[in-house]
Amino acid sequence: MSFNHHAVIAIYNFEMARTWRTIAQSIISPVISTTLYFVVFGAAIGARITDIGGVSYGAFIVPGLIMLSLLTQSIANASFGIYFPKFTGTIYELLSAPVSFVEIVVAYVGAAATKSIILGVIILATATLFVPLEVRHPFVMAGFLVLTAVTFSLFGFIIGIWADGFEKLQLVPLLIVTPLAFLGGSFYSIDMLPPFWRTVSLVNPVVYLISGFRWAFFGAADVGIGISLAMTLGFLAACIAVVWWIFRTGWRIRT
């Protein structure tokens, strides 16, 4: 069976059009929230904190803040995108159409990842207005940005399939992902922690995402770039396996 690119483009454009209709909620609100972090932590508090690894505190938190927004928005965009057809019942029309599950996933996840990448680029541009910033490895940075957006959009897609109510769409991001992001070194280096808590932090998968992204900016991070990349690819593979199983069994889709 050939790849139905017309269906993918149609679904993708539909999801992207929803973003432009709700641009205040989708783009402007997250950018303003992140800008407040720059003002409070970067300018007000950062002026009283010494450099971390030779990097000013204001610049140090930029990768963590971008990653924090990227994770939450990727999950939110993808989970709502697939949950809404379930809620309205239009998912059955989609499943009965000549569209494979691969094409469905590519369209919804691609749209969610695109929104998150656009948001990440805007936040990065906004950060340069507050702190002097230099990206040492721009291609690695772009690669991690895309890889993280795709991975957590897949994760959000899984949450959207699993959820049977709007409140469950917020459950995992609020109670699990956001705390892990805050405890994953967004605002500090885990090397600053006592040995025991540093070891505990290494269990947090978000540490590897933030470390890899931070390495692309400054050439140094809490965890080696190879380990960060391997952990991210491992989580991506796990998400792909779960999505394949969902469509293979029809779990929470056909019932």
- At residue 107, the pLDDT reads 95
Q: Is the pLDDT of residue 168 over 80?
A: yes
- At residue 134, the pLDDT reads 86
Range with the lowest mean pLDDT among 28-42, 155-169, 172-186? 28-42
Confidence of residue 64 (pLDDT cuts 50, 70, 90): very high
Q: What is the mean pLDDT of the chain?
A: 89
- At residue 13, the pLDDT reads 95
- At residue 78, the pLDDT reads 94
**Cα 32 to the center of its chain, rounded Å:** 17
Question: Are 149 and 116 contacting, i.e. CB atoms less than 8 angstroms apart?
Answer: yes
- At residue 42, the pLDDT reads 67
If we measure between CA atoms, which residue out of 165, 149, 163, 211 comes closest to residue 185? 211
Helix or strand (DSSP H, E) at 26 = none
Q: Is the pLDDT of residue 164 over 70?
A: yes
Exposure class string for 147-172: b at 16+ Cβ within 10 A, else e: bbbbbbbbbbbbbbbbbeeeeebeeb
Q: Is the pLDDT of residue 80 over 70?
A: yes
Q: Taking residues 99-124, what's their average pLDDT?
A: 94
Q: Is the pLDDT of residue 255 over 70?
A: no
- The pair of structure tokens assigned to 239 is 């998400």
- At residue 43, the pLDDT reads 66
User: pLDDT tens, 91-106?
Assistant: 888 888 888 899 999 9
- The pair of structure tokens assigned to 208 is 């590897």
The span from the CA of 233 to the CA of 131, in Å, is 31
Query: What pTM did the predictor assign?
Result: 0.92
Q: Is the pLDDT of residue 76 over 80?
A: yes
Confidence of residue 44 (pLDDT cuts 50, 70, 90): low
- The pair of structure tokens assigned to 110 is 């691609």
- At residue 56, the pLDDT reads 86
Question: Are 75 and 119 contacting, i.e. CB atoms less than 8 angstroms apart?
Answer: no
- At residue 66, the pLDDT reads 93
DSSP calls for 167-199: HHHHHHIIIIIHHHHHTTTSSS-GGGS-HHHHH
The alpha carbons of the chain give a radius of gyration, in whole angstroms, of 19
Q: Is the pLDDT of residue 142 over 70?
A: yes
If we measure between CA atoms, which residue out of 216, 187, 78 comes closest to residue 206? 187
Helix ranges (H only) for 48-165 are: 57-88, 91-96, 101-127, 138-162
- The pair of structure tokens assigned to 102 is 């691969």
Position of tokens 């936040």?
123
Q: Taking residues 129-153, what's their average pLDDT?
A: 92
Q: Taking residues 75-95, what's their average pLDDT?
A: 89
